[in-house]
Chains A and B, each alone.
Chain A
Amino acid sequence: MKNRLRELRAERGWTQAELARALDVSRQNVNAIENGKYDPSLSLAFKIAALFGSSVEEIFTPDGREQ
């Protein structure tokens, strides 16, 4: 799954650690999601979307589909 997490985080000038704190997860979790190595659960995806004021579909897209 592709995602725009790094881009959205950079827009706000947050570090991975700051984003991790806001989501109450470890920084490695954020890092692994940003690198596309780990797909978050649905509940974490919704939490991320709520934090950025977006929908899940605006942040996460399946591989091979344009955003």
Chain B
Amino acid sequence: MADGTGDRESMHWWADATPRDWRNLRRFALAVAAWAVAFVGGASLLRGGAVGTGAVAWLVAALPAVLGVMAVLAYARYLRETDEFQRMVHFRALGLGFGGGWLVAAGYRLFELVGAPRADRAVLVVVVAVCFTIGLLLTYRRYA
């Protein structure tokens, strides 16, 4: 809509988020980054046996879960405080992510029974993340 009133100044959600959304998304991104570092680092330490099997090992294993809860809480706060349109977009994307994860988790099990390679449980996380991202992009595109 090039009517001189800036309708098309940007069609990207990241450029159009309110300061409140930016703040909440930054918190969420930091929590996810901390979780990823703790998860990868923790798995590496535990696999290498660097922390043994005692209390320290349990702490290393528990740290990603704590950071994961923080990430979930940060995302829940974003959903609670963002505007109704963004909430609708994210709910649709979450639905697609959940649905995609469920279909792959349930469907691929049958393929495994007929000889397909056994999938790592971590693949499910990737499938959910990919379906969620596709859901976000499709919904933003639909309403842009």
* A64 close to B (CB within 8 Å): no
Identify 8 new A-B residue pairs, CB closer than 8 A, beyond the known A18-B6, A44-B84: A10-B3, A24-B83, A28-B13, A28-B144, A29-B85, A32-B85, A37-B143, A38-B85
The residues of B with any CB-CB pair to A shorter than 8 Å are: 1, 3, 5-7, 9-10, 13, 16-18, 20-21, 82-86, 88, 140, 142-144
CA distance A18 to B16 in the complex (A): 11
Distance (whole angstroms) from the CB of B102 to the closest CB of chain A? 27
CA distance A64 to B92 in the complex (A): 28
CA distance A32 to B96 in the complex (A): 21
A1-44 CB mask vs B (1 if < 8 Å, else 0) is 00000100110011111101100111111011011011011001
Q: Can you pick out 5 interface pairs between chain A and chain B where the beta carbons lie within 8 Å of each other?
A: A15-B9, A16-B9, A25-B83, A28-B143, A29-B85
Q: For chain A, what secondary structure do more than half of its interface residues adopt (helix, strand, loop), or is it mixed?
A: helix
A52-64 CB mask vs B (1 if < 8 Å, else 0) is 0000000000000
Distance (whole angstroms) from the CB of A51 to the closest CB of chain B? 15
CA distance A25 to B82 in the complex (A): 8
Cβ contact of A27, chosen from B3, B10, B20, B88, cutoff 8 A: B10
Given A26-B16, A26-B83, A26-B86, also A16-B144 (CB < 8 A): no
The residues of A with any CB-CB pair to B shorter than 8 Å are: 6, 9-10, 13-18, 20-21, 24-29, 31-32, 34-35, 37-38, 40-41, 44
Distance (whole angstroms) from the CB of A37 to the closest CB of chain B? 5
Query: Are B5 and A32 interface neighbours, CB within 8 A?
Result: no
Query: Are B7 and A16 interface neighbours, CB within 8 A?
Result: yes
Cβ contact of B6, chosen from A16, A25, A35, A38, cutoff 8 A: A16
Distance (whole angstroms) from the CB of B16 to the closest CB of chain A? 4
Query: Are B5 and A29 interface neighbours, CB within 8 A?
Result: no
Chain B residues with Cβ below 8 Å from A32 are 85, 143-144
